[in-house]
Amino acid sequence: MKNLLADRVYRLSESETLAMTRMGRELKTQGKDVISLSIGEPDFNTPEFIKDAAKKALDENYTHYTPVAGFEDLREAVCFKFKRDNNLDYKPENIVVSTGAKQSLANVVLSLVNPGDEVIVPTPFWVSYSEIIKLAEGKAVFIPANIENNFKVTPQQIQDAITDKTKVIMFNTPCNPSGSVYSKEEIKSIAEVVAKYPDVYIISDEIYEHINFVGKHESFAQFDFIKNQVIVVNGLSKGYAMTGWRLGYIAAPKQIAQACNKIQGQITSGTSSISQRAAIAALNADPDKVDDMKIMVKAFKERRDLLLDLLKDIPGFKTNIPNGAFYVFPDISYYFGKSNGNHVINNSKDLCMYLLDTVYVALVPGSAFGNPDCIRFSYATSKDNLIEAVKRIKKAVSYLK
């Protein structure tokens, strides 16, 4: 008998960030006092001036289909943002706006990767990278970065991983889940390696651009010698606290932008007209002058410091200092082989399930991000929640012998 579903569904893993969030929610509906540090989304609301633009859009009847790649004036606003924030020159023809950066990433991978093509992915990586590559029937080539080198890969590692089958390198700075931020020099030396291979492309996921505690964001596209091999992915979900609005975008060489437009035109068309009008207001405002954004980033930095401090008190939780995004990714392999009654901890998933089942703290196993020794904390939540969560975790792990 034939399988009901297509093979691609069996090959695909469920998004672990969304799965842990779902499990946490289920326990909450059963009345359990769950603290969720699983989903990566700001706990702040979208700034008022952006919401006002959306209300205005409704009143002005922006309720129809839009151009597939987004309204022309939105794509102009994206170009304006690239010039203002990154000193990058793009034209609207280089821009495709999508239903979140997740769709932007999928569009680009589906546009570039043929079955069997290799895609280099530094680990740890964001959960959906490996699965989007599977959808394109590409072959992910993972290159490890561990806590000792701040979860960053070296140019030599990239050089060693490139073969004649390499098509794409997926890069993410600031990084989810490690919080690593690559410096200009680090990006430049990786770009110099890739520039030697003109048919290899870098997808540079810069969605956490504005959540950076060490200064200016550095984009791969800033180096002219590599710019036509770079596709920048960005969006409004994180920096502007707009996860539910579903708005991401790319800046790419024209031919790649056209390919993404073609794919998107057959799958979703343009993203919500109202979100697009709101995005124009968001992108036209200088982030350095938007108080809501500054307050949010300051709060994230304080919470990061608090969480790092609190985690120092848990034996066997080894952390580095994440310089961006809103995650801490401790190595917890110290607990492997230990148990408490029926709970045996052999991997990061076991530890996450143990903490969820016994003390109702939802985290995400590092295995979902390609590093089975770690677990991910999202600190996009209140300080009180962080203090209480760490207190519970400390108690729960103290029973593991």
Contact between residue 401 and residue 324 where contact means Cβ atoms under 8 Å apart? no
- Determine if 79 is a binding residue for ligand GLU (CB under 6 A): no
Closest distance to ligand PMP from the beta carbon of 106 (Å): 10
CA dist 195 and 228 (Å) reads 10
Which amino acid is located at 33 in the chain? D
**Which of ligand GLU, ligand PMP, none sits in contact with 18, Cβ below 5 to 8 A by type?**
ligand GLU
For ligand GLU, the closer of residues 40 and 92 by Cβ is: 40
**Which of ligand PMP, ligand GLU, none sits in contact with 127, Cβ below 5 to 8 A by type?**
ligand GLU
Closest distance to ligand GLU from the beta carbon of 300 (Å): 14
For ligand PMP, the closer of residues 128 and 333 by Cβ is: 128
> Using omega within 30 degrees of 0 as the cis cutoff, is the peptide bond preceding 177 cis?
yes
* CA distances for 95 relative to 110, 161, 400, angstroms: 17, 30, 52
- Determine if 23 is a binding residue for ligand GLU (CB under 6 A): no
- Determine if 17 is a binding residue for ligand GLU (CB under 6 A): yes
Closest distance to ligand PMP from the beta carbon of 304 (Å): 16
For ligand PMP, the closer of residues 287 and 359 by Cβ is: 287
Sign of the dihedral defined by the CA atoms of residues 284, 287, 289, 290, in that order: positive
- Determine if 127 is a binding residue for ligand GLU (CB under 6 A): yes
3-class state of residue 204 by DSSP: strand
**Which of ligand PMP, ligand GLU, none sits in contact with 264, Cβ below 5 to 8 A by type?**
none
CA dist 79 and 87 (Å) reads 10
β-partners of residue 166 are: 118
Contact between residue 217 and residue 85 where contact means Cβ atoms under 8 Å apart? yes
Considering only the stretches 34-42, 66-74, 258-266, 329-337, report the one whose residues sit in contact with ligand GLU under the rule CB under 6 A: 34-42
For ligand GLU, the closer of residues 66 and 123 by Cβ is: 123
- Determine if 37 is a binding residue for ligand GLU (CB under 6 A): no
**Which of ligand GLU, ligand PMP, none sits in contact with 205, Cβ below 5 to 8 A by type?**
ligand PMP
Closest distance to ligand GLU from the beta carbon of 106 (Å): 12
Considering only the stretches 12-20, 46-54, 336-344, 387-395, report the one whose residues sit in contact with ligand GLU under the rule CB under 6 A: 12-20
- Determine if 15 is a binding residue for ligand GLU (CB under 6 A): yes
Starting at the edge strand that comes first in sequence, how are the strands of the sheet with 166-172 ordered? 95-98, 248-251, 230-235, 201-205, 166-172, 118-123, 139-144
CA dist 46 and 60 (Å) reads 21
Q: Mark 176-215 with x for binding to ligand GLU (rule: CB under 6 A) and - for no binding.
A: x---------------------------------------
Classify 370 in phi/psi space as left (phi over 0), alpha (psi -120 to 50) or beta. left
Would you give the distance in Å from CA 314 to the centre of its chain? 27
Enumerate residues 6+ apart whose C-beta is below 8 A from 255.
none
- Determine if 18 is a binding residue for ligand GLU (CB under 6 A): yes
Closest distance to ligand GLU from the beta carbon of 33 (Å): 22
Which amino acid is located at 179 in the chain? G
Which amino acid is located at 110 in the chain? L
For ligand GLU, the closer of residues 40 and 239 by Cβ is: 40
- Determine if 19 is a binding residue for ligand GLU (CB under 6 A): no
- Determine if 39 is a binding residue for ligand GLU (CB under 6 A): yes
Helix axes 101-112, 128-135, angle to 10 degrees: 40
Select from 24, 40, 70, 124 the one that contacts ligand GLU (CB under 6 A).
Answer: 40
Closest distance to ligand PMP from the beta carbon of 243 (Å): 5
Q: Which residue is nearest to ligand PMP (CB)?
A: 100
> Using omega within 30 degrees of 0 as the cis cutoff, is the peptide bond preceding 330 cis?
no
Ranges of beta strands (E only) in 51-200 are: 95-98, 118-123, 139-144, 166-172
For ligand GLU, the closer of residues 223 and 377 by Cβ is: 377
* Residues within the interface to ligand GLU (CB under 6 A): 15, 17-18, 39-41, 102, 127-128, 176
